[in-house]
Structure 1
Amino acid sequence: MNLNNSRLTTNDIVQLAALLPNLPTLEELDLSWNELIGGALKLLTSHLQHTPQLRVLELASCGLSGLDISSLGDSLQLLVNIEKIDLSWNSDLGGNLSLFSQKLQPCSTLKILKLVDCNLTREDGIALGKALSVTTNLEILDLSMNKSVGCGLATLFQELRHVPHLQVLKLYNCGLTQDSIQDLGIALNYVPGMKKMVLSCNGIGGGFKETATHLLNVTQLQVFDVHDCSLTEGDISALTQIIPLLKNLQVLNLALNKNIGDAVRHLIARIRFLPRFKDLTASNCNLTKESIVELADTLPNMTELETLDLSWNKCLGGNLGVLIQMLQNETRLRVLKLCSCNLTGQDLASLVSLSCAGFLSSLEMLHLTYNNTVDDQSWVMFFQEINGLKALSELDIGLMPLSHRECSPWLAVLLCCLSRLPSLLELGMHHWVITASQCELLDTFNKQNQRNIHFTY
């Protein structure tokens, strides 16, 4: 039963509770994004004995009060088959989590627990850590966007020994520090099946110099997200020694780490030893030209690569050809993001050449946003000659905010080009000056060609 975002009221909860005796086989109940039911949850939870098969309970952003949380805790003994509970975006959970966590039942069937942006405190982190001893089947734990919980995670990390099946740990923006990473590193020995670890938006720079070797305990790791973590060259040097040994790694996100300097090129060079690697995000990393050359040298070995995001690295301007020419073999690239890279007309020509040769036939998303450095004639050339992008569904050529340029020099050429992009659904044109008559031309194209391209401008 999905009642997500249905504007439910207390009266609706009363009626729903009355229905539960007639729903003995109910397995999933989603009441998320109904903030008016806060304070009334007890009216529902007192009837959960009628739904013994319930596996999924989603109560994200429901305005839950301390009393609601306590009532939910009291009902846990009735949820003998529960596998997923989502209490995200309920700020009153902060300081009250123990009212729920202390009542988790021994040998709980819970596999997924999400507590995103719940205003959790240090004490909540400690309480949750103590509760792990009864949630031995836990596979996914998401505590993201709880900035004050960091100091309490030392206890939680120590208790990870009770959840050996944990596969996903998300700690985005949780107030982690260098010391936190050391505690987590030691705990990784307890969760050898970890597949996804998100540590982004935490001030953990310098924390990997001593603890990177602990990553060798999670040989199944597929996703490693450390974007915006103030990483240092020392962190990258340490990770360079370890990451090539994680043979199952598929996704690496280093974005917004502006101080990793030239050290990142050595890490890029060793990605070639990861046979399943699919996604590299290194946007806004202050890459050097040497890093781009190293990436170009590595690309032929990245045969499974699907996503490449190098946005906000100005060194790409005038040098994209060095990189692009190394994609001249069979590629699975689906997403290419080159936003705000100071691209030139020659860079666009390199993209055109590659597409015309058929080497970007799998590309679905191309972002060229904020490249105000491309002149009008180069856009004309791009739309006149771009070919072979049969799978492209999203293209963004928007300009930087406060920038305003006429699209008249190339709009007619664009309209002709659209017929050669049969899969295109979204075209971003932010900050290009488009007149009312030009808007009509775009609408007419959709009508005449029975297309439904969404133009954003």
Structure 2
Amino acid sequence: MSQTRKKSSSDGETKPQTSFVNKFLRGSKLRSSKAGSRKESNDLKTTDSQPSDETQTTAPVDTAEPLASEMEVGCRMEKNEQFLQKLGEKAVDKCLDLNNCGLTTADMRELGEALKVIPNLEELNLSWNSNVGGNLPLICQKFQAGSNIQRLELVDCALTSEDGVFVGQLLPLLQNLEVLDLSINRNIGGSLNSIAQGLKSASNLKVLKLQSCGLSQKSVKLLDAAFRFLHNLRKLDLSCNKELGGGFEDSSAQVATLEHLQVLDLHQCSLTAGDVVSLTQVIPLLLSLQELDLSANKKMGTSSENLLSRLRFLPALKSLLINNCALERETFTALAEASIHLPALEVFSLSWNKCVGGNLKLLLETLRLSTSLRVLALSSCSLVTEDMALLASVIHTGHLARLQNLDLSYNDSVCDAGWAIFCQNVWLLKELTELDISLRPSTFRDCGQWFRHLLCAVTRLPEITEIGMKRWTLPPSLEEELRCFDQDHGRSIHFDHGGFQ
């Protein structure tokens, strides 16, 4: 079921949904009649005592049991059909999406039975149903070895520690599983031993997401022991586990075996200086890495110089997020020098690192060479007017031509002259769709004459749709110009400003 609940069939407004579900279930019934007894069909090949279909139709002594069985199956299918109709689920052949639909305990008991009529189910999403917690076995206990499930999403389901143990026991049965998302279930950290044991059997897993799951230092050690079995892992998300800090100090060796890993998310994990030292030996070996998020780990500011300098060995890196890491001049310098060697970089976020202010010149070569850069985030970096002049110069000389999103918000120390020179050159960013120059929540300022340059630039930016200008207020003269702009150009451009004087 989608996030928008469908009305039940009794409301008389669900004809399209009813016909869709019926169509879906007809396919399921057909598969059930053919594939649902695949095991029995296989047994026929090895057991001569089983009568064939022809024998069953001609031997009166054998007809009663199949007839009763067919009636029982038909009754159960009808009940399951009614249940799935009631849910108004969003399903297409092999996918069942029941996220955020307020499942009750009774629903989950019925759902477990209903899954029997979807023998080829490949994707199951139960996310944002809080009652799943404590009841997960009611739904998934019918899964058998050799299940076709490839994607299992249980985000924010209030899973209990016992549910975590059940997941660990379930994983060896799901040999085809490629995506497992247990994020925002804070109580399963205590059962990670069971989950980690189960992961050793999940050799086809490509995505593992354990964001905000109450992981601890010990959890890292348990996961590290499982990593050497996950040869196909492409994405690993351990973010927002604040008790995880220190876990990598002695337990990161197996991370290096994830040779196909493309995404590593460790933001807000309270990484320690020891973690950073250990990760310095590992991350540069992940040659397939395309996205790295180390944001909100403030202890990196004094200890990450070596790690950041070695990012140059990751030529496939497309996204580098290092927001709010309390970088210092030395660590920022190491990062700036390494970023020159990242030709594929598309997303680069340095927001909330105050040391960038006054030192943007260290990124000059990167900004000139980054022909693939789409997103540049420099929010709350204490930028000064000289930094804006440098950025304007880079734009003026034809660089950053593919930039789509530019975040310069919360840089209140830039004077009107700085905004003016920037706005005079921003029109050269022809692919720009979003620009944010908002002020801090505690600051309100009147727009200067640079706003006219911005309006002029917008007329020459064919893709722009959003301009963040929170807490910039427009005096009457500029208010009138904005009104005229809206009338004359008729484009859907949202100026999110602080209002009129």
- Distance, in Å, in 1 between the alignment partners of 2:370 and 2:212 is 38
CA displacement 1:85-115 (0-9 Å, x = unmatched): 1110000111111111222132111111111
Partner of 1:376: 416
Partner of 2:113: 74
> Per the alignment, do residues 52 and 268 of structure 1 end up closer, same or farther by CA in structure 2, a change over 3 Å counting?
closer
Q: Secondary structure at the match of 2:218?
A: helix
Partner of 1:196: 235
Aligned AA for 1:237?
A: V
Partner of 1:400: 440
Partner of 1:269: 309
- Distance, in Å, in 1 between the alignment partners of 2:301 and 2:442 is 30
- Distance, in Å, in 2 between the alignment partners of 1:213 and 1:91 is 36
- Distance, in Å, in 1 between the alignment partners of 2:85 and 2:143 is 16
Bigger-Rg structure (1/2): 2
Q: Secondary structure at the match of 1:259?
A: helix
Partner of 2:133: 94
Partner of 1:31: none
Q: Is 1:215 aligned with 2:216?
A: no
Aligned AA for 1:73?
A: G
Partner of 2:461: 421
CA displacement at 1:291 relative to structure 2: 1.6
CA displacement at 1:422 relative to structure 2: 2.3
Report 1:47-446 matches (<5 A): 54-202=93-241, 203-329=243-369, 331-434=371-474, 438-439=478-479, 441-446=481-486
**Which shows bigger deviation, 192-201 or 65-74?**
65-74
> Per the alignment, do residues 450 and 140 of structure 1 end up closer, same or farther by CA in structure 2, a change over 3 Å counting?
same
CA displacement 1:3-51 (0-9 Å, x = unmatched): 6515534736997557643445779xxxxxxxxxxxx988324899xx9
- Distance, in Å, in 2 between the alignment partners of 1:142 and 1:198 is 9
CA displacement at 1:274 relative to structure 2: 1.1
- Distance, in Å, in 1 between the alignment partners of 2:464 and 2:451 is 16
Q: Secondary structure at the match of 1:85?
A: strand
* Structure 2: tracts of 5 or more residues without a match: 29-78
- Distance, in Å, in 2 between the alignment partners of 1:384 and 1:413 is 6
- Distance, in Å, in 1 between the alignment partners of 2:309 and 2:284 is 10
CA displacement 1:52-106 (0-9 Å, x = unmatched): 9721111111000111111111122211111111110000111111111222132
- Distance, in Å, in 2 between the alignment partners of 1:402 and 1:294 is 33
- Distance, in Å, in 1 between the alignment partners of 2:257 and 2:331 is 29
**Which shows bigger deviation, 440-449 or 236-245?**
440-449
- Distance, in Å, in 2 between the alignment partners of 1:3 and 1:127 is 26
Q: Is 1:21 aligned with 2:33?
A: no
> Per the alignment, do residues 10 and 430 of structure 1 end up closer, same or farther by CA in structure 2, a change over 3 Å counting?
farther
User: Does structure 2 retain, via aligned residues, the 8 Å contact 1:101–1:127?
Assistant: no
Q: Secondary structure at the match of 1:208?
A: coil
User: Does structure 1 retain, via aligned residues, the 8 Å contact 2:9–2:86?
Assistant: no
> Per the alignment, do residues 420 and 125 of structure 1 end up closer, same or farther by CA in structure 2, a change over 3 Å counting?
same
Aligned AA for 1:111?
A: Q
> Per the alignment, do residues 143 and 437 of structure 1 end up closer, same or farther by CA in structure 2, a change over 3 Å counting?
farther
Report the TM-score when normalising by structure 1.
0.91
> Per the alignment, do residues 25 and 451 of structure 1 end up closer, same or farther by CA in structure 2, a change over 3 Å counting?
farther
Q: Secondary structure at the match of 1:169?
A: strand
CA displacement at 1:443 relative to structure 2: 4.4
Q: Is 1:5 aligned with 2:44?
A: no
Report the TM-score when normalising by structure 2.
0.83
Partner of 1:35: none
Q: Secondary structure at the match of 1:214?
A: helix
User: Does structure 2 retain, via aligned residues, the 8 Å contact 1:45–1:71?
Assistant: no
Aligned AA for 2:488?
A: Q
> Per the alignment, do residues 24 and 64 of structure 1 end up closer, same or farther by CA in structure 2, a change over 3 Å counting?
closer
- Distance, in Å, in 1 between the alignment partners of 2:257 and 2:414 is 47
> Per the alignment, do residues 309 and 26 of structure 1 end up closer, same or farther by CA in structure 2, a change over 3 Å counting?
farther
RMSD: 2.5
CA displacement 1:305-335 (0-9 Å, x = unmatched): 1111000000011001121233323521110
> Per the alignment, do residues 340 and 127 of structure 1 end up closer, same or farther by CA in structure 2, a change over 3 Å counting?
same
CA displacement 1:265-300 (0-9 Å, x = unmatched): 211111111121111111000001112211221122
- Residue correspondences, number: 442
- Distance, in Å, in 2 between the alignment partners of 1:241 and 1:56 is 41
CA displacement 1:151-175 (0-9 Å, x = unmatched): 1121011111221100001111010
User: Does structure 2 retain, via aligned residues, the 8 Å contact 1:101–1:128?
Assistant: no
Q: Secondary structure at the match of 2:168?
A: helix
CA displacement 1:419-457 (0-9 Å, x = unmatched): 232221110011111357745533432442342212122
CA displacement at 1:263 relative to structure 2: 2.1
- Distance, in Å, in 1 between the alignment partners of 2:82 and 2:480 is 54
- Distance, in Å, in 2 between the alignment partners of 1:448 and 1:18 is 48
> Per the alignment, do residues 178 and 321 of structure 1 end up closer, same or farther by CA in structure 2, a change over 3 Å counting?
same
Q: Secondary structure at the match of 1:315?
A: helix
**Which shows bigger deviation, 52-61 or 101-110?**
52-61
**Which shows bigger deviation, 258-267 or 57-66?**
258-267
CA displacement 1:324-359 (0-9 Å, x = unmatched): 233323521110000001000000011101111111
- Distance, in Å, in 2 between the alignment partners of 1:443 and 1:113 is 50
Partner of 2:492: 452
Aligned AA for 2:22?
A: P
- Percent identical among aligned pairs is 41
